[in-house]
Amino acid sequence: MKSFIIIGGGASGVLMAAQLLGRSSETTVRIFERSGNIGAGIAYSTINPNHLLNVRASNMSAFPGDHNHFLNWLQTNPEAAKAGNWQPQSFAPRCLYRLYLNDLLKPYQERENPRLFIEHAEVASVAFEGSRPQITSSAGQNFIADAIIVATGNEAAISTSGNFVTEYWSSNGYFEISPENSVAILGTGLSMVDSVISLLDRGHQGKIHAISRRGLLPARHEPSEALTIDADQLPIADGLPALIHLVRTLITQQHKDGKSWRSVIDGLRPHTKAIWSGLPLRQRQSFLRHLRPWWDVHRHRMAPAIADRIKAAEQSGQLTITAAHLTSVKSKGEHIVIRYRNRRGEGLHELDVRSIIDCRGGSSRFSTTRNAALISLLEGGLAKPDALDLSLDVTADLQVLNARGEPSGSIFAVGPVTKGIFWEVTAVPDIRVQTEKLSKILLEF
């Protein structure tokens, strides 16, 4: 019987466990999830039914070889079925996806012969006991396995001090903000979109000001068919400028044919890992500095129903989007005064609000992680950040590299914690492929 430990019980950890347990009856898995909420993580912890997936139901299956698995679950699960008439193009609530992830693991938690064990505890340290990896929990218990898989997902936001500041990721989908309060939201990505929806769902009447350096909103999902792009069409060896030129050319041609830019962006998806790994480090750094915001808003889009509500809030004047650089945020009695400089303007402007929702996300530097398990790996020399300091450094086969740049043994990683190497591993359609690949490796390990 092979034993595996998974650190993290969000989507990455659940998909990894489902693959390992489903592929071999001679396997046990122990998941460590400090929150105790399996399948939640940052993405699916919300309880607001109007926080929707930004991927259609037809592409949210847990298994690459069974594309209708999630859709079939939506249509047959009693709680999900009563919530809507689900079709392949539907955008389901994220809280339902959390239930789906939990259902994936239920068969392996049977009382008589369980093969899955959930530990509601934090991993305090990771080390080796002989040739096998061992973790020590925050309660001081030791657990040894044949391999450890790090699946800690995206880093949570760094806490912002202040009585009037709420972090988006610390909410459960709703905020304790008076409906008449004027609110500033820092950031204009999908987290901001969720925050506006949360406020509107509670009947918010006050003004909502969303501010980011570029003032970019995620695009709207529209029907489109991914353009077929052959790998040999991509001038990866010629670098980022040549790739940008190709993308613009393809989009121009699509527009001439009466089609959308979306087909080009979707057509690039099978190639993004090859593009990312093929670019020199300096050009990947340039992409992160200059192009990432534009890529993100075109790649990660809003469900149509959500886009309609955001547009309506803008048109009514309740929601304003501002491209600006923050210069100061100061408390003034029961108010907050935000000073900013417009992106394409001169002079300082002031905004007086009663509440702030911080949607800027965590630190961009992986090495500043506050996760005890990751800190233990890094400080113990069993792992190191990738060259961009976005994630763990791993091999093509997902084995974690140690401080000397060597495979650290039976420690692996999946999901967003590997994004510095593979880039497109933050969404389920990419994570499921990664976990399937790793499960095959581990069961032959």
The Cβ of residue 29 has, within 10 Å, a number of other Cβ atoms equal to: 24
CATH, range 165-219+301-358 = 3.50.50.60
Instruction: Quickly count helices (H) and strands (E) in the chain.
Output: 14, 16
CA distance 51 to 172: 11
At residue 217, the 3 state secondary structure works out as: coil
CB 398 within 8 A of CB 404: no
Do domains 2-155+364-443 and 165-219+301-358 share one topology? The answer is yes
pLDDT at 222 over 80: yes
Class of CATH domain 2-155+364-443 = alpha beta
pLDDT tens-place string over residues 132-176: 999 999 999 999 999 999 999 987 665 554 567 887 777 788 898
pLDDT tens-place string over residues 33-43: 998 899 998 88
DSSP string, 282-332: HHHHHIIIIIHHHHHHHHS-B-HHHHHHHHHHHHHTSEEEEEEEEEEEEEE
Chain centre to alpha carbon of residue 401: 23
Choice among 168-182, 403-417, 427-441 with the minimum mean pLDDT:
168-182
CA distance 397 to 166: 39
pLDDT tens-place string over residues 93-138: 999 999 999 999 999 998 788 999 999 999 999 999 989 999 999 9
pTM: 0.94
pLDDT tens-place string over residues 4-30: 999 999 999 999 999 999 999 999 999
Q: What's the pLDDT score for residue 332?
A: 87
CA distance 312 to 316: 6
User: CA triplet 248, 253, 254: central angle to 5 degrees?
Assistant: 95
Which one is predicted more confidently, 177 or 362? 177
Q: What's the pLDDT score for residue 161?
A: 46
CB 271 within 8 A of CB 233: no
Closest CA to 18 of 98, 108, 148: 108
Q: How far is CA 47 from CA 55, 150, 174, 206, 243, in A?
A: 18, 26, 8, 23, 40
CA distance 181 to 178: 5
| Residue ranges per structural domain of the chain | 2-155+364-443, 165-219+301-358, 231-299
Q: What's the pLDDT score for residue 10?
A: 95
What would the mean pLDDT of 239-253 be, rounded to a whole number? 97
The Cβ of residue 202 has, within 10 Å, a number of other Cβ atoms equal to: 13
pLDDT tens-place string over residues 286-336: 999 999 999 999 999 999 999 999 999 999 999 999 999 999 999 888 899
Instruction: Report percent pLDDT > 90 for the chain.
Output: 86
Closest CA to 332 of 352, 358, 356: 352
pLDDT at 247 over 90: yes
Token pair in block for residue 38: 């399996």
Q: What's the pLDDT score for residue 163?
A: 60
What would the mean pLDDT of 39-57 be, rounded to a whole number? 93
